[in-house]
Structure formats: C-alpha cells, structure tokens
Amino acid sequence: MLTKKASERSRLLLLNASDGIHILDGKGVILEASDSFCRMLGYARAEVIGMSITQWDANIVPDELGQVLARRIDRPGISTFETRYRSKDGSLFEVEVTNHPLQLDDQQVIYNAARDITARKKAEDEIRNLAFYDPLTRLPNRRLLLDRLKQALASSTRNGRYGALLFIDLDDFKTLNDTLGHDIGDLLLQRVAEHLASCVREGDSVARLGADEFVVMLEYLSEHEPEAAAHAETVGEKILATLNHNYQLADYEHHSTASIGITLFTDHHDTIDDLLKQADLALHQAKAAGRNSLRFFEPEMQAVVTARAALEAGLREALRKAQFQLYYQAQVDGESRVTGAEVLLRWQHPQRGMVSPAEFIPLAEATGLILPLGHWVLETACRQLAAWAGCGKMADLTVAVNVSARQFYHKDFVADVLAILDQTGANPKRLKLELTESLLLDHIEDTIAKMTTLRASGVCFSLDDFGTGYSSLAYLKRLPLDQLKIDQSFVRDVLTDSNDAAIARTVIALGKNLGLAVIAEGVESAAQRDFLAENDCAAYQGYLFGRPMPRVEFENFVAQL
C-alpha cells in the first residue's frame, strides 16, 4: 500500500483527471485510481482498490501476468499500447494505455493512463470499410480485390496450385434499372451478393467491381490445370444455377440470370491487369453466346482482341495518311450500257496490302470511325461526279454511295450532305444514296424527314439488300425511294432455287407497282441476266458487266464501250 502522504498526493493528482489513471504495484494490484477510471469500468472506487489487472484487462492471461508486468516495469520511459478492458457488466471495449514505471516512496509502481478509443476504432473501421468495401453490398471492392489477387498470385507461385478468377455480370440489368428504378436494382445487387457468398468456400473471395459486375476469386484449386479448370467450372455452374431464379424485390418479381467469364492463374506468368482483361474477354464471349452461360479465356481470344486493336490503330493512321481508295463497279441497263457506278471503299495497307471491307467496316462502325470515313467517301465521290460532269460518256453517270446507320442518324447528316454537294459542285441528281432496310425501319419519322429534305434537293435513294431484313410494306410506301435493289443472295441461285426465283419476281413486281426502279446486284452469268430481263428487271450490277475497279481503269472501261 502507498503511504498516507503518497496516497493523499496521488488522490489530488487523480481527482480531476480525464483519462482513466490507475497505479499498480509490482504484482498488478491497484493502489490508486482516478474517478474517470472507476466510471470507465463501472465500479465504485472502493471496489477498484485492490483489484488485480487480470480482472479488467481481457488480453492478459493469469498465467502470463508475471511476464507482462516484468516487461512493463523493465521498459524504460513512457510506452503506449492498445488492449481491451472488461467492464463490470462483462462488456469489452478498446483502450489505449500509456505505461510509465515509477519509483514512489521506495516502491516500484506502474503509472497507467487509459483512454477509451471505441469511437476512434469505430471511425477507423468505417474509413477502412469505405476504402476497401462496397457500401451497398458490403463486399470487398476493386481495391481490396486487387490486393488479395496480388497475394493469391504470390501464394500460387509458392504452392504450385492454380487459382481462378470468375467475372460475373447480370444479364439485362440495365433494363431493370431503367424500368423499375435504381432502388429496385440495388435490392437485386444485394440479393446477388448474398447468393454469391453462399456459392464459395471459406477463404475464397467475392467482390463487387461496380454496377452489376462481380468477381469471385478461387484459390488452391489443383496443381493440374484440367482439374483446376473443372473445379472452377463447377463453381461457375453452381453460381449460374443459384442466380437463375425469380427475385421478390419490394412489390416486384424479377427473373435474373448471369453470364460468367473464367480465367485460371498460376505463378507470375500473367500480370494482374492481364488476368482481369482475360476474365473480361471470357465474359464478353459468354454474353455473345446467348447469356446465362460461362466461357473460359483462351489465348485465341486475346489474339483476336490484339488484332482488333492493331486494326483500329491502322484505321486511324489510314485516315490521316489517305490510304483509302474508291473503286467503281458499273451499273448497266438492259442494253448493257453503263448508266452509273456504285463506289466501294478499299484500304491499301502499306504492309498488309488490300484489306477486305468485311474486316474493317464493322470495326469502323463499332469505334465511330465510320463517321469521318463515311464523310471522306461521300466527299470523294461527289468530287468525282463534278469532275466527270464535262467528260463525254462520264457526264451522265450516277454514283451510288452506301450510307451506314451511324452516319445517317448523326444529327448533322443532312447538313453535311448538302454542304458537300455545295462545296464540290456535284449535281445532286447524279448522287444516289444506298440505305439498308434495317436502317430505314428505325426512327421512321426522323428517317422520312431526312430523306424528304435531301430528295427535295435532287438526291436519289436506293434501298439496298431488299428482302433480307424485316420488310414492312406499310413503311415502304411512305419512304421517298427511287430504287429497290435485289440482293445478290437471291440472284445467286435464281436459276436453281424456286424460292429465290419467286422472291426476285416479287421484288420486281413490287417495284413496278410502287413506281420504283429495280436493279439486281451480283449478276455473274448471262443466264441470270436473261431470267431477270424476262421478268422485267432492266438494270444490273455484277461481275458479268465488270468487277469493282480503280477510277482510271473504270474511266477506260466506259470509254471503250
């Protein structure tokens, strides 16, 4: 016990202390305590004096008390540590303790000041949760997933076992959000998070990357790739089955499915970015396969993406360096006289040579490069029309230019066409814009308005690939068209396939009844031409009359007729 003088002096020091100050003897028994310490534990001061530290410090095991006290006494100066205290009612709380060994009245004591840090710890946990967890689903977010994936790669290198990444995307989630609202969408995401957690082992990770994208990371699968792949597939199929059902979301019932892309990992042969890209590629393959399915990443997928990226870069360079050319394919009348030409885009790549339009046009559409490319084609074709205006046989030719849907629906399309005609001096009546059925049937009122404006200036319109889409006669009679084009797929077998022959006759008769001209493309033999002529089709295009050819060659071709 402290002497009377020391005790009185200590009480004066402890009386108004804000921290939970307590003085222990060398055996861990309280000699003196502040009022705030007593309130912290929920005891009266009379109960506290004489208590052993093991009665309130939950982190000290009685058998280890001597070692703990020895470390605290022998440690020179002031030290700080965190521990857990147990209050009188048995509840635990976090404290930060400042430890200071002292010599008091020839007695070795320990002066401790404890501060309740429960609120601080809670705030730290909240900050950590905000940094590493998705607030909606409480799943790890991208940041924490990347950290765990880094550790998993290191672990895989050490133990030689494969792991797997599963990218999961909810099918048609955007439709749910757009129709029922984000609150309902959030409910579905929370339900999905719960289901995903039930599909994996303890130790596997489920994370939300954002929107409706989730990731499952599986570790310690197998040392053998086939076995690891089989295990990952089993988990993937379980997830698909678990997520494929009706969800009761507030007052709504919604059926949801998912698509999954899977990639395996081991060692450090692939970077984290590589793995994420691979799983994402596999996910896109699953989506393309019809959804509610899973696909594994294969090197061939990466090769396709790499080639696509190179092709896109090449397209941009080709636009800058004028590597594109226009070829011209003759369009003739019933007397085989050239009445015009369809312009066809060609790309003369400096290394690859001539690149097929079937390869680069879809990419141009997807990337938006079709807009500057289509503008270049239209402008070049109109300049050529203007140049031919005073050139004998070339002066009366029409030029047909294909227009993409993205180009046609651009808000400035009509203005661009009229500006090009004005700048080049081309005769609008010699310009024919070829549109496809699918293009015309979308946004029908806007389509009619644009066509009507351009037709008023003299521009003609041809409906390309007629009969291959979802034709609507109700729309067809409203459109300001000049010509129907019989698709080459019908012309090819017109002599051997009775259905193709019937379709060709129907298109010709339809055009005649609507007052529209009809031209058949893909005519390669005299017999095909004769069949079409017998059924009153008097305009043709195809190899029988000439392949697509560069401008100079086409001009020579026309001059020799």
The 163-170 sheet, strands edge to edge: 205-210, 213-218, 163-170, 258-265, 294-296
Of 340-349, 395-404, 432-441, 541-550, give the lowest mean pLDDT range.
432-441
Domain annotation covers residue 309: no
Mean pLDDT, the chain, integer: 90
Alpha-helical segments (H) within 327-484: 357-367, 370-388, 405-408, 413-424, 437-441, 444-456, 473-476
> What's the pLDDT band for 388 if we cut at 50, 70, 90?
very high
Q: Distance between CA 200 and CA 217 in Å, rounded?
A: 9
The per-residue pLDDT for 5 is 52
Q: Distance between CA 429 and CA 389 in Å, rounded?
A: 12
Q: Cβ distance 322 to 286 under 8 Å?
A: no
Dihedral angle computed from the Cα positions of residues 179, 181, 186 and 191, in that order, rounded to the nearest 10 degrees: -40
Same domain, 143 and 255: yes
Same domain, 166 and 109: no
Q: Cβ distance 400 to 341 under 8 Å?
A: yes
pLDDT tens digits, one per residue of 182-240: 999 999 999 999 999 999 998 899 999 999 999 999 999 988 888 889 899 999 999 99
List the CATH number of the domain containing 234: 3.30.70.270
Count of structural domains, the chain = 3
> What's the pLDDT band for 124 if we cut at 50, 70, 90?
confident
Same domain, 251 and 285: yes
The per-residue pLDDT for 133 is 92
Taking the CA of residue 482 as centre, how many other CA atoms within 13 Å lie in the half-sphere pointing to its CB? 18
- Write down which residue in 121, 146, 165 finishes a domain: 121
Q: Distance between CA 164 and CA 59 in Å, rounded?
A: 39
The per-residue pLDDT for 132 is 92
Same domain, 184 and 38: no
Same domain, 150 and 284: yes
The per-residue pLDDT for 521 is 95
User: H or E stretch including 100?
Assistant: strand 92-104
- Top-ranked range on mean pLDDT: pick from 26-35, 103-112, 460-469: 26-35
Domain annotation covers residue 328: yes
Work out the average pLDDT over 381-404.
94
pLDDT tens digits, one per residue of 473-504: 777 788 899 999 999 999 999 999 999 999 99
Same domain, 376 and 446: yes
Report the DSSP pairing between strands 483-486 and 460-466. parallel
The per-residue pLDDT for 438 is 72
Same domain, 353 and 421: yes
> What's the pLDDT band for 42 if we cut at 50, 70, 90?
very high
Q: 10: closest CA among 28, 35, 29?
A: 35
Domain annotation covers residue 306: no
- Write down which residue in 88, 121, 154 finishes a domain: 121
List the CATH number of the domain containing 490: 3.20.20.450
The per-residue pLDDT for 92 is 95
Task: Give the tokens for residue 84.
Answer: 């857990």
Angle at 359 between CA 345 and CA 556, to 5 degrees: 25
Domain annotation covers residue 303: no
Q: Is residue 441's pLDDT more than 70?
A: no
Of 98-102, 162-166, 193-197, give the lowest mean pLDDT range.
98-102
Q: Distance between CA 137 and CA 203 in Å, rounded?
A: 18
Q: Distance between CA 526 and CA 14 in Å, rounded?
A: 114
The per-residue pLDDT for 478 is 85
Q: Distance between CA 430 and CA 503 in Å, rounded?
A: 29
The per-residue pLDDT for 303 is 76
Work out the average pLDDT over 329-350.
95
Q: Distance between CA 189 and CA 173 in Å, rounded?
A: 10
Same domain, 323 and 288: no
Q: Distance between CA 331 and CA 338 in Å, rounded?
A: 6
Task: Tell me, letter by letter, the H, E, C secondary structure of 156-219.
Answer: HHHHCCCEEEEEEEECCHHHHHHHHCHHHHHHHHHHHHHHHHHCCCECEEEEEEECCEEEEEEC
Same domain, 13 and 157: no
Q: Distance between CA 379 and CA 373 in Å, rounded?
A: 10
Q: Distance between CA 215 and CA 206 in Å, rounded?
A: 6
Higher pLDDT, 461 or 290: 461
Q: Distance between CA 414 and CA 420 in Å, rounded?
A: 10
Q: Is residue 15's pLDDT more than 70?
A: no
Domain annotation covers residue 188: yes
442: number of Cβ within 10 Å:
11
pLDDT tens digits, one per residue of 262-278: 999 987 667 899 999 99
Task: Give the tokens for residue 413.
Answer: 């399309």
Same domain, 509 and 397: yes
Domain annotation covers residue 215: yes
Same domain, 11 and 143: no
Work out the average pLDDT over 313-339.
94
Domain containing 390: what range? 315-559
> What's the pLDDT band for 17 if we cut at 50, 70, 90?
low
Domain annotation covers residue 482: yes
Q: Distance between CA 516 and CA 157 in Å, rounded?
A: 71
Q: Is residue 529's pLDDT more than 90?
A: yes
The per-residue pLDDT for 472 is 63
pLDDT tens digits, one per residue of 68-78: 898 888 887 88
**Residues 325-345 as b or e (16 or more Cβ within 10 Å = b):** ebbbbbbbeeeeebebbbbbb
Domain annotation covers residue 399: yes
Work out the average pLDDT over 329-356.
93
Same domain, 358 and 490: yes
> What's the pLDDT band for 1 if we cut at 50, 70, 90?
low
- Write down which residue in 269, 297, 325 finishes a domain: 297
Q: Distance between CA 256 and CA 192 in Å, rounded?
A: 10
